[in-house]
Amino acid sequence: MNAVKIRAGQKNDLPRILELIKELAEYERAPQEVTITIQQMEQDGFGKHPVYDFFVAELNGEIVGMSLFYWRYSTWKGKRLYLEDIIVTEAWRGKGIGRKLFDRTMQHALEQNCTGMMWQVLDWNEPAIRFYKKNYNARLDNGWINCHLEREEIEQLLKPSGSLKSK
């Protein structure tokens, strides 16, 4: 998967991002819940006060995945990166693209001086749960599963050369 390029998202990526969001909603059995529009995404992500950012995974010029995140502030911990969604289109799952996106998102959390990173995963989404446990040893709570890595854990995972150690 060396041909996969992870890059910052751009406004002209939003139509494909919305397609990926709808694909995820289908997988999570809630397609009717997607009400966001490209116009709203443009305003929220590229307007005067952006509230989210994202990375895309590109393969041969096609966006095959994305990681969308925003900042969260904890009164106990300070600035946190909240990973709203990491999506890899079905045809490309299981090929290391999700891991590349996740690693880049962790690196961004460090670059932005976050104290850690948080996300959720549905308790029935076993492939995702295995991914987070196997690759990151993330802590998972019951119910809606809240996941997080502390800054020190991210630093440890990314040592020594800025990439994860082989498992």
65 contacts 97 by C-beta, under 8 angstroms: yes
Q: How far apart are CA 110 and CA 159, in angstroms?
A: 12
Beta-carbon contacts of 75 under 8 Å, excluding residues fewer than 6 positions away, are none
Upper half-sphere CA count for residue 132 (Cβ side, 13 Å): 23
52, 73, 132, 136: which is the annotated catalytic residue? 132
117: alpha, beta or left? (left if phi > 0; alpha if psi -120 to 50): beta
Cα separation, 121 vs 146, in Å, equals 7
Reply yes or no on whether 27 is catalytic: no
Active-site amino acid positions: 132
